[in-house]
Structures are given as C-alpha cells and as structure tokens.
Amino acid sequence: MSGIRALQKEKTRRQLIDAALGQLSSERSFSSLSLREVAKEAGLAPTSFYRHFSDMDELGLTLVDEAGLTLRQLMRQARQRIDKGGSVIQISVRTFMEFIENNGNIFRLLLRERSGTSPAFRAAVNREIRYFTLELCDYLQQANKLDAEVAYLQANAAVTIVFSAGSDALDCDKKDLAQLAQRTIKQLRFIARGAFEFGVRNENRSLKVKGETK
Amino acid sequence: MSGIRALQKEKTRRQLIDAALGQLSSERSFSSLSLREVAKEAGLAPTSFYRHFSDMDELGLTLVDEAGLTLRQLMRQARQRIDKGGSVIQISVRTFMEFIENNGNIFRLLLRERSGTSPAFRAAVNREIRYFTLELCDYLQQANKLDAEVAYLQANAAVTIVFSAGSDALDCDKKDLAQLAQRTIKQLRFIARGAFEFGVRNENRSLKVKGETK
DNA sequence: TATTTCGGTGTACACATGTACGCTATTCTA
DNA sequence: TAGAATAGCGTACATGTGTACACCGAAATA
C-alpha cells in the first residue's frame, strides 16, 4: 500500500507540473507551450505525458488550482500580519505586491487564462478569484459592520483594483513599484470611504441618492 | 496618382484585417490564428499575405490600433449623450456595455493582448487605455474641480472597474447584464464619493486621515 | 509605346506538433 | 513465485505551420 510505484508516479507528475510552471514567463504563455516541450523539460518522452494527463488542458487546470492554493496561502499570510496590527489596506497591498514579486509567473497564468480561450480555464480562474473576494467580503462585513451588498461591492472592487495593480506591477521597473503601491492604496481608500458613506446611508434612510433610484 | 492599384491594395489589406477580426471569438484568440488561416479567410494565397504585412504581429498591432479607434469613438458617443443631460456614471456604463455587446471580439482582443506575451502588444494596448483614462481624468478634473492627482486616481480606478465589468459581461447571460451594470454603477459611485471626500480634505486640511500618514 | 513595378499565385521545403502503437522493465498482486 | 498491471520508451505518421522562390499579368512610368 505504501506504493513505491505510486510514489514515483506522483514525483514525475510534479516534474511535469514544475516543468510547465518553469517555462512560463512574461513572453511565454501556457497556451503557447507544447506537450512535447513540457515533456522534454521534465525529462520525459513525449508519449509518457499521457500517463499523467490526458491533455495539456488537464495540466493547465491543475496549474490554475495550484495558483489558487498559492493565492489562499497569501490571504492567510496577510491575515496574520493584520492581526498583529497595522492598516488593513496597507498590509494587504504590500502582501500582494510581495506575492507578485515571488510568483510572477503564476499570477500571469491567472491573468491570462481569465480572459483566455478555454471556458473551463476561465471558469476555474474566476472561481479562485471569487473565493478570494468572498473571504475579503466576510472580513469587511464583520470588521466594518457594512450592509451585505455594500460589503460585496467593496470587496469586488478592491480585488479588481488590486489585481489590476498587480498586472501593472509585472511590467513595472522595480523602482516605480513603491509609487504604484501608494497609488493603489489611495484608490482602495477611495473605495472604502465611498462604501462606508453609502453603507451608512443605507442603514438610516431609504436609499435615495440624487433622486436616481427609479 | 489616384492609383487604381493602390486602391485595390488598400482593399485587400482591409480584407485581411476583417478576416482576422472575423475569426476572433470567445474561443479563438489572435495569437492562435495562423497566417495561412487569415489569408485563406481573406481569399488570398498564403504568400500574398506578405505583400501587406511582414508578420502576423504587424497585423495584430494594426488590429489594436483599430480597437483603440473604436474605443475613442465610444468616448465621443458617451460625451454626446452626457451633454444632453443625465447621470455621467450611468450613461458611461450604459455606453460601455453597449460597446461590448456590439464589439465583443475587439474588446476581447484588448483584454487578452494586455496580458499577452508580446511586449509590443502590451505597450500598444496600455497606450490606448492610457488615452482613455487621461480623457476621463481631464473631464473629472474640470467637472468636479478635483486635485490633479485625485482626479487621475479616480479616473484610473474607474477605468479599471469598468473594464473588469466589461470582461465579466463577455461571459454573462444576457439577462444578468442589467444587474452587472447596476453593480458597476454603484462601485463607480463609491469611488467618486471617496475621491470627492479626499479631494476636499486635500484642499482644506493637511491630509491627515486616521493617523495613517507616515 | 516600351519598360518597369508590383500584387497575387502555386510549388516546395524543413520543421514542429499531437498521438497511435508496440515494446520493455519494474512493481504489484494473488 | 507466477502472472498481471503499468510507467516509460522509441518509432512512425498525418497534419499544419512559416516562408523562400520563380512566375504571371496588369498597372504605372518613362
């Protein structure tokens, strides 16, 4: 049951995954990788690939899962830092930026496949981002006592802004990175402030703003 | 000088461009198009392609320019509507959503190539988006009398949110589209409100919020 | 009108790709 | 320990790719 065989299989499976991840770069997308390239990089014969994945797509979806895992691990890391005290927004952005510096290619994978050609990929990436957003939403809702809808809208907007900043960071000179982070922090504050104002209104009045409802 | 020849050339050049645009879809990205496919779709022999573009990349950059043009035309359309009166945010979002419904594949092109593998493509797309943002920034600055930096941050955030919503719209059931638009509008209001608050503070006080400066 | 230019064609080639098939050696199972 | 299962290999093939090359006929130019 220990499975000296199953163990070896798991190992070369990892080699394939790592080979694929290793080939990703700013100038190489997953969809541009060929089965043969990945197999070769992993030190395998092309046809051996099929012993582990039926498809490049199957490998790709595995990579997206992997990325999602890394993303959630990131969240935990941020939480720990926040619980130790400090500005939530500031720490979150800093954490995210560090993530991108260390996992640029994984982040690229997410960004690219989110708007890619495979519905399955798009769904997978969106699922991961939704988790990410919902966790933030929960946090906002109970930390700031916001209306559920407002909290979701804020979380969604914040994630969008941060991901976009991350995307910019990938093409950024290292020296401009701090400025980018500062701008992002300010934008998140706009959103937080706006959400707060509207959240309060929602509680006290009957949501009537500038006579635009209906 | 009229050039019956140059005229014909321009015409088949357009055929190539249109052929490429026509092949784009949710499941087909530009980078997955082959020179031969495009030529065939345009009714040309593969080798004739070279009479017009040295490369598929060159065609691609032309497409991005085309998309930028459509984007700016969109802006003008929105301006006209706004000048006729109505909520700026509401009209802008509506206009953008219509754009996406009618030009889904062009918008997909922008989204994909922005995070694509070609630095030239990324630069081109970002340039178009920057124009878009700066125009909005000007508008905000003079309409709301905001601090220049605050106006830019608001414009940038707003464009990010709207583009992201556009991306979602592409994968959206038609019936959910109205909801998506509503949510986007609310998020833009958050940003506008937040920017306004911070903008005002910037004028009157010395920017000290929650003791987070420094 | 004689000559040049040039958009378009068809042929041809080298190359990379996905994958079907059969084989081997090692591990697992009965 | 005999037999089944299976991870990995090499060969082979059909297909699609970019593009070099020589050629043609119509438009442009002199």
- A83 pLDDT band, cuts 50/70/90, is confident
CA-to-C1' distance for B198 and D23, Å? 71
C-alpha R_g of chain A: 21
How far is it, in rounded angstroms, from Cα B70 to Cα A204? Answer: 44
Is residue B212 predicted with pLDDT exceeding 90? no
Number of neighbouring beta carbons within 10 Å of residue A51:
12
List the structure tokens of A116.
């890619």
Tell whether domain A56-203 is in CATH 1.10.357.10.
Answer: yes
B41 touches strand C (CB under 7 A): no
CA angle in degrees (0–180, nearest 5) for A186-B143-B192: 35
Instruction: Looking at the structure, give the CATH architecture of the domain made up of residues A1-54.
Output: Orthogonal Bundle (1.10)
Mean pLDDT of chain A: 91
Nearest-CA residue relative to C1' of C18: A35
Task: Give dist(CA A101, CA B5) in Å, integer.
Answer: 53
Contacts for A158-164 with beta carbons within 8 Å, 24 or more apart?
A158/A188, A158/A191, A158/A192, A159/A129, A159/A132, A159/A133, A160/B160, A160/B161, A160/B164, A161/A187, A161/A188, A161/A191, A161/B157, A161/B160, A161/B161, A162/A92, A162/A93, A162/A96, A162/A188, A163/A111, A163/A129, A164/B160, A164/B164
Chain A positions touching B90 (Cβ under 8 A) are 212
Q: What was the pLDDT predicted at B93? A: 95
Q: Using the CA of B42, which nucleotide's C1' is the nearest one? A: C8
C-alpha span between B166 and A42 (Å, rounded): 39
> What is the rounded end-to-end Cα distance, in angstroms, of chain A?
66
Between A209 and B70, whose confidence is greater? B70
A212 touches chain B (CB under 8 A): yes
Q: Which nucleotides of D are covered by protein (CB under 7 A)?
A: 6-12, 16-22, 27-29
- Whether the per-residue pLDDT at B173 is higher than 50: the answer is yes
ipTM over 0.85: yes
- For A12-34, b/e burial (b = at least 16 CB within 10 A) is bbebbbebbbebbebeebbbebe
Say which residues have a Cβ less than 8 Å from residue A142's Cβ, sequence separation at least 6.
none
- The pLDDT tens digits for B60-71 are 999 999 999 998
Mean predicted confidence (pLDDT) in B61-82 = 90
Average pLDDT over residues A55-81: 92
Residue B206 has pLDDT above 90, yes or no: no
Q: What's the average model confidence in pLDDT over A61-87?
A: 90
Q: Is the pLDDT of residue B142 over 80?
A: yes
3-state SS assignment for residue A26: coil
**Domain extent listing, chain B:** 1-54, 56-203
Residue B26 near chain A (CB below 8 Å): yes
- Mean per-residue pLDDT over chain B, rounded: 91
CB contact under 8 A, A191 and B195: no
Q: What is the pLDDT of residues A113-125, one digit of tens each?
A: 999 999 999 999 9
Q: Which residues pair with A28 in a beta bridge?
A: A25
Please report residues of B whose CB lies closer than 8 A to that of A92: none
Of all nucleotides, the one whose C1′ comes closest to residue A50's CA is: C19
- At A167 the pLDDT is 98
> Is the predicted pLDDT of residue B154 greater than 70, yes or no?
yes
Q: Which three-class secondary structure state does DSSP give residue B25?
A: strand
Report chain B's C-alpha Rg in angstroms.
Answer: 21
